Structure 1
Amino acid sequence: MIDFRYHLVSLIAVFLAVALGIVIGTTQLNGPVLTNLQSQVTALQEDKRLLEDETRQLQTQLDQVGDFEEAVGPALVAGTLIDRSVLLVVGSEEVPAEVVEGVTALIGSAGATVTGTVRLPEGYGDPAKESSVRSYLTGPGLPPGVTPAETDDTSELLADVLADVLMVPGADAEDPGVVPEPAATASVLAGLEELEVLSRDTSSVSPADFAVLLTAGTASGDDAGDRTAAVVQLATALDARGSGAVIAGDLASVEDGGLVGAVRADRPVSDGLSTIDNVRTPAGQISTVLALVAESTGVSGQYGIGESTQPVPAPVS
């Protein structure tokens, strides 16, 4: 009869054999495996260095292209908007200051005047502000001559009043060329500034023939859709009242929740509004000005580098 000690010795022998096999196998394989891993790491490091070099080269090329575009931009737009005026609306805190400055400079090179810069904070289109905004726009605080539209949509009402005081009526308007009273414009902007619906980046803001709405990124939060829709309504109203409007943003603004994307996804709106999706680049800023020129002839389009975009039409000499 086999006793317990026999089983114990057998189990110990088995474990010793397994352990010895692992040690021998590891010893035999350790050298080749380690060498192979080191070779892979070396190859990956080399690939990384090559990609970094390629990235630097491509960035250098892009910088050179950007420098060239920046240099020729004033010449490309020169004289295309002689004696016209443009209002700038900054619709996002993510719009870089250099973009505002670049577009402003090119508008000047085109022969036009920037009549002022208005900024839209997150409070623009916020449903929580609807009651106070509607009370102001339908109350006795509006200056004489400013008649709000008859609508239950507060965002539409706000867009209509702003278009009324910020745009010089275009050729298709009921009173083409009639400039709104400066006092009325200042009064409405001051009232809305008190409600934190907008702010003024410039000391004065005057009515203009065209509007450029600068944007970046996407809206966030529970009311993001409502706020984006309100800004679209504003751009549409500015375009309809004046001689044209352009929404200029970055590639991120084409995505869901972005202003450019919202316009391009709405065919009736995009048929009347021009959009730019690369305004952070000199080429995009040039396109923004040329899009205004196209708007003055009744042509709207979707321009930039995103999907389904097209070249900006060359100005007709």
Structure 2
Amino acid sequence: MIDFRYHLVSLVAVFIALAVGIVLGAGPLREGISDTIDEEVGQLRTERTELRSELDVRARQAEAKDEAVDLLSPRGVAGTLNGTRVALVVLPGADRNHVALLEDRLAEAGGALVLEVEVDDSLDAGQVDEGVAERLASTLDVPEAPGLDEAGLGAVLGATLAGADPDGEVGAWLAVSERLEEEGLIDLRWQGPAAQVTDRRPPDATVVVGGGLPEGDDDAEPEAEARLRTRLDLVRTLAALEQPLVVAAAGTETEALAEGGGEDALVQAVRDEGGLRGDVSTVDDLESASGRAAAVLGLAWELQDEAGHYGLGRQAEAPVPAPPPLRLGATTGSDGQAPATEPVPDDSDTTSAP
């Protein structure tokens, strides 16, 4: 009987508790909870509005600063590449708008863009008969370098751009460049006096403009690795042949919140590889005015055997390099070719890239 009374009292207590909860929930407690939730939602909306306003202000400030840098850059880079014959290598995926703006900046620096090479997807991905690459490599003086596939297409293209003729031969690099174009692996555009066959010489310096690598499913990873190997072989070959070189790509400004901070894979690989880091300059924010200025000034420092890494990425040393010494203006010789130029002597004996 005691157990029955105990259970009965328990059931009554439960129902009373439910009734009290219902009454309170429909009355004063409900109003209190509702008011609290409304206050929190209102506060969140206010914070969201404030954050949006702050982001808009920051974006306008960044845009204004970029415009200011863009306006000042022509004077900042003027004379730094006087008389320098430059080749521009455009890899698959590179933004043509960035390339066009970089070309303008090179011209403002006094450089002569004599050759633009657009690399085809087939060369980038290594989708070519190995025999073709080996035959072309055998006609050039391809250097040895750590990690370099000397018979690969990246090495062939690098040796071609550097004019790496074997001893006792002249013009082999030109023949290889024409063969690469015939195979549909590259598109060559000679400009200025170099448009005439009689005035084609290897460029004095090179800028490689990087593009993105395939992403997504598991099938994309092997292709991305193959493309990166080809691109690294191109850079390794040019570096081994002591060609002044800048590797520039976009990403760290517009894709800063993406995985890896938006840094281009080739730029990152060059910075990570000890044998290249000290010889090849890199820029990771080519989409910005400061990035394009850094690419030009970095190339000028490369002509002084000084490498640096610029931009906003994790291994960047500075947004832009310090101004390099100006170069003497070039004059046209009797053969119609501009002679080699030297930098204007600097009063300071300690001028160096940051």
Query: Shared topology, TM-score over 0.5?
Result: yes
- Map of 2:133 onto structure 1: 137
How far off is 1:296 after superposition?
0.5
CA distance in 2, matches of 1:248, 1:53: 33
- The TM-score, its normalising length taken from structure 2, stands at 0.72
CA deviation vs aligned residue, 1:10-66 (integer Å, no higher than 9, x gap)? 687455323312212312211111111111111111111111111111111111111
Q: CA deviation at 1:304?
A: 1.6
Of 253-262 and 296-305, deviating more is: 253-262
- Structure 1 residue aligned with 2:101: 102
**In the alignment, which residue of structure 2 is the partner of 1:209?**
204
User: How far is 1:107 from its partner?
Assistant: 0.8
Inter-CA distance 284–186: structure 2 relative to 1 (3 Å threshold): same
Distance across 2 between alignment mates of 1:167 and 1:227: 21
Counterparts of 1:92 and 1:31, CA distance in 2 = 62
Distance 1:56 1:13 in 2: 61
Residue 245 to residue 203, structure 1, CA distance change in 2 (3 Å)? closer
Gap runs ≥5 in structure 2: 327-354
Contact 1:248–1:276, Cα closer than 8 Å, also in 2 = yes
Partners of 2:124 and 2:230 within 8 A in 1: yes
Residue 167 in structure 1 maps to residue 166 in structure 2:
no
Residue 297 (str. 1) matches residue 304 (str. 2): yes
Shift of 1:84: 1.6
| 1:208 Cα deviation after fit | 2.0
1:134, CA displacement in angstroms? 2.1
- 3-state SS of paired residue (1:137): helix
Aligned pairs (5 A) from 1:274-289 = 274-289=281-296
SS of 2:86 mapped into structure 1: strand
Counterpart contact for 1:160–1:237, Cα < 8 Å? yes
Question: Do structure 1's residue 271 and structure 2's residue 278 form an aligned pair?
Answer: yes
2:79 paired residue number? 79
Cα deviation per residue 1:198-219 (whole Å; 9 max; x = unaligned)? Answer: 4427477864221111124455
Deviation at 1:115, TM superposition (A): 2.7
Q: CA deviation at 1:125?
A: 5.2
Matches within 5 A, 1:1-317: 13-14=12-13, 16-26=15-25, 27-93=27-93, 95-124=94-123, 126=125, 129=127, 132-139=128-135, 142=136, 146-147=139-140, 149=142, 155-157=149-151, 158-168=153-163, 182-191=174-183, 193=184, 198-200=185-187, 202=189, 207-217=202-212, 219-220=214-215, 221-223=220-222, 224-241=224-241, 243-249=243-249, 250-251=251-252, 258-308=265-315, 309-310=317-318, 311-317=320-326
Q: Distance in 2 between matches of 1:278 and 1:15?
A: 68
- Residues 257 and 247 of structure 1, relative CA distance in 2, 3 Å threshold: closer
- Deviation per residue, 1:60-112 (Å, 9 max, x gap): 1111111111111111111221222222222241x322210111111111122
Q: Provide, for residues 135-193 of structure 1, a one-character-per-residue CA deviation record: whole Å limited to 9, x for no partner.
A: 11334xx59x9336498x88432233222322356xxx998xx77664542223322x2
Q: In the alignment, is the contact (CA less than 8 A) between 1:210 and 1:244 conserved in 2? A: yes
TM (normalized to structure 1)?
A: 0.79
- The 2-side partners of 1:266 and 1:12 are apart by 75
Amino acid at match of 1:209: D
Paired residue type of 2:111: A
Cα pair distance change 1:174/1:272, threshold 3 Å: farther
Counterpart of 2:279 in structure 1: which amino acid? G
Secondary structure of the residue aligned to 1:261 is helix
Select the structure that is richer in helix.
1
| Equivalent residues of 2:66, 2:289 under 8 A apart | yes
CA contact (8 A) 1:211 1:239 kept: no
Q: Which moved more, 1:52-61 or 1:225-234?
A: 225-234
Matching residue's letter, 2:323: A
Whether the aligned pair in 1 keeps the contact of 2:115 and 2:188 (CA below 8 Å) is yes
CA contact (8 A) 2:114 2:190 kept: no
For these two proteins, the number of residue pairs brought into alignment is 298
- Give the Å deviation of 1:7: 9.8
CA-based RMSD: 3.4
Distance 2:143 2:209 in 1: 29
